[in-house]
């Protein structure tokens, strides 16, 4: 077992992690969603628990399981449900990491009966969901708040904008166009940026190893009193 000395880096800390996609219902049999396996969030939860933290994992629908007794999993389906759970849990945690792929829009109308197909085109009107991370940034007192950013163009520029706009302590920026990054895979490559705009490149590695690096940077930045 490597890094045994690091294993208690987060002892006594309470960490809230959101993972996976959300589903925005159209009718009983159809929904809009985002590409997300939940693997990055679940890796963060497992590694944080192994580093001594107590973890609350707020999870969208994913094909993953957790068996760690230090992880308390709460399942949600829609962005609206995730919003309520995250807001309620927020004040009880020291570190909050929003790795979930939250839908930005949902159908304006949800039908209780299955929609029947008609001739011609179908137009579905969409409305914005709440920005959960933005709301948490506004609520923040002494928590350490970490966001994710999935970008295809000028990732660093857009990522830093999100860090500042959402009042975050750090952001993990994924260039989802890069080989081995983001989405369903077992690997990731990312840039961690804290609010002092100190940048750390995380080289291509398993999501488990990437999670270990992210959590080590968080522990460092909390210790320095950056939050
Ligand atoms: N996020 C959130 N609630 C939303 C949308 C996003 O909490 N309704 C969070 C994500 O969990 C992530 C961060 O905001 O931690 C950035 O998500 P991303 O989709 O990259 O950015 P957006 O702010 O949604 O902007 P855009 O999709 O237009 O790039
Ligand atoms: Ca988005």
In this predicted model, which residue has the larger pLDDT, 1 or 56? 56
Q: Is 162 known to sit in a ligand binding site? A: yes
Q: Is the pLDDT of residue 4 over 50?
A: no
Q: Is the pLDDT of residue 214 over 90?
A: yes
pLDDT of residue 224: 66
Q: Is residue 4 a part of any domain in this protein? A: no
**Tens digits of per-residue pLDDT, 125-156?**
999 999 999 999 999 999 999 999 999 999 99
Mean pLDDT for the stretch of residues 148-169: 96
Q: Is 94 known to sit in a ligand binding site? A: no
Q: What is the dihedral of CA 193, 66, 135, 23, to 10 degrees?
A: 110
Q: Is residue 2 a part of any domain in this protein? A: no
**Tens digits of per-residue pLDDT, 96-132?**
999 999 999 999 999 999 999 999 999 999 999 999 9
DSSP annotation string for 119-179: SS-----EEEPP-HHHHHHHH-SS-EEEEEEEESSSHHHHHHHHHHHTT-SEEEEEETTST
Q: Is residue 119 a part of any domain in this protein? A: no
The ligand minimizing its distance to the Cα of 166 is: 1
The ligand minimizing its distance to the Cα of 18 is: 1
Q: Which two tokens stand for residue 168?
A: 């975050």
Give the structural domain span for 86.
Answer: 9-114+125-223
Best residue among 23, 101, 104, 169 to mutate for probing ligand 1, ranked by most atoms within 8 Å of CB: 104
Residue 176: pLDDT band (50, 70, 90) is: confident
Q: Is 149 in the pocket of ligand 1 (CB under 6 A)?
A: yes
Q: Is residue 100 a part of any domain in this protein? A: yes
**ipTM here:** 0.98
Q: Is 148 known to sit in a ligand binding site? A: yes
Total structural domains in the chain? Answer: 1
Q: Is residue 178 a part of any domain in this protein? A: yes
Q: Is residue 157 a part of any domain in this protein? A: yes
| CATH number of domain containing 36 | 3.40.50.10300
């Amino acid at each position: 077992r490597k890094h045994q000395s690091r294993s208690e880096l987060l002892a006594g800390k309470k960490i809230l992690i959101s993972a996976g996609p959300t589903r925005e219902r159209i009718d009983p049999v159809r929904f809009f969603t985002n590409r997300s396996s939940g693997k990055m969030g679940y890796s963060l939860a497992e590694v944080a628990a192994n580093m001594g933290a107590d973890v609350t994992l707020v999870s969208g629908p994913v094909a993953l399981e957790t068996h760690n007794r230090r992880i308390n999993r709460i399942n949600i389906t829609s962005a609206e449900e995730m919003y309520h759970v995250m807001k309620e849990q927020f004040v009880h945690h020291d570190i909050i990491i929003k790795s979930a792929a939250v839908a930005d829009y949902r159908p304006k109308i949800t039908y209780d009966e299955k929609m029947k197909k008609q001739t011609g085109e179908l137009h579905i009107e969409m409305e914005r969901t709440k920005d959960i991370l933005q709301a948490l940034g506004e609520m923040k007192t002494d928590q350490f708040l970490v966001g994710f950013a999935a970008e295809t163009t000028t990732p660093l520029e857009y990522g830093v904008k999100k860090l500042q706009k959402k009042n975050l302590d750090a952001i993990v920026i994924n260039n989802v166009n890069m080989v081995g990054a983001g989405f369903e895979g077992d690997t990731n490559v990312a840039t961690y940026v804290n609010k002092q705009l100190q940048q750390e490149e995380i080289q291509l590695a398993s999501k488990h190893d990437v999670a270990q690096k992210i959590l080590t940077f968080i522990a460092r930045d909390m210790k320095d009193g950056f939050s």
